Amino acid sequence: MATRRAAVAKGAARKSTVARGAAPGAAPPQPETTGRQAGSVAARALTLLAELAQHPEGVSLHRMTLQLGWPKPSVHRLCAHLEQAGWILRAGSERHLSLGPSAVKFALAALHHDAANAERRAILRALVDRVGETCNLTMLAGAEVLYVDRVESAWPLRLHLEPGSRVPLHCTASGKLFLAHMPKAQRARLLAARPLWAATPKTLVDPEAIEKEMRAIVRQGYSLDREEFLLGLIAIAVPVPGRDGRPVAALAVHAPIGRLSLKRAIALLPVMREAAEALGASLAA
């Protein structure tokens, strides 16, 4: 009788395994197998995000699939999970990808905790001491400018933007600098991503005028905000070069026009470029 009860229990266990989708006689999933699968997914997610970070202006889903060399359904599925968690964003036809707010927040936190952060802060503080105005380190984040770090001046009248703040591309000194140094097709796509609104009466919104400004920025090596973002406020930005010489960030100085004229701002270029080179070396370290 005991033998019969044992046989019935064994049969019930086998039926239960089959009902869950496992083959008869198959061993149940082991914890280490599940751990390896989770690790593989995490590794793929990090690889995808790292590749996406190489394209601050965004990249098409098709191109991303080709660069990764993974099956298309796998990339689509992974992107869907990352998008739901805020790590990536889709724009336009929903096939254009860029880093999302979760990824940017993580990168910003990592940047402020790395060993070179103290060095970057020291470079910015030294520049503020020399020019007497607020200095900002910014990067391109999708279709916006991201404030990565800043050191405030001692003046009571100043624009306060915390690291992590975002501002438009088309009407800021840093934003125009980033636009000018990217291929025309990418620039057109970013500018078309949202309406070109006039933040002030001096904001450039005409495509022909913008292209003329882009050529001038590349030729002269710096960008100006002539009260285009806020009336009464001007800014000047220079590129922070990466290992290949292309801009990986921008260094900007801004101040009320009553305190800093455009002529005086341009006179600050030598010390700004010196600081930008030092920041580039810090970011590449």
Distance of CA 140 to the CA centre of its chain: 6
- Please state the separation of Cα 250 from the chain's center in Å: 13
Q: Percent of the chain scored above 90 by pLDDT?
A: 38
How far is CA 97 from each of CA 6, 31, 52, 59, 152, rounded to the nearest angstrom?
Answer: 57, 34, 8, 5, 34
Q: 83-102 burial, b for 16+ CB within 10 Å, e for fewer? A: eeeebbbbbeeeebbbbbee
Instruction: Judge whether residue 249 has pLDDT over 60.
Output: yes
Sorted by where each begins, the domain ranges of the chain are 43-106, 114-284
Mean pLDDT computed over 15-28: 46
**What top-level class would CATH report for the domain 43-106?**
mainly alpha
pLDDT at position 160: 60
Confidence of residue 237 (pLDDT cuts 50, 70, 90): very high
What's the pLDDT at 193?
76
- Which pLDDT tens digit goes with each residue over 175-205? 999 999 998 888 888 888 778 899 999 999 9
The model's pTM: 0.67
> Residue 242: its pLDDT value, please?
86
User: How confident is residue 108, by pLDDT bands cut at 50, 70 and 90?
Assistant: low
CATH 1.10.1740.10 fits 114-284, yes or no: no
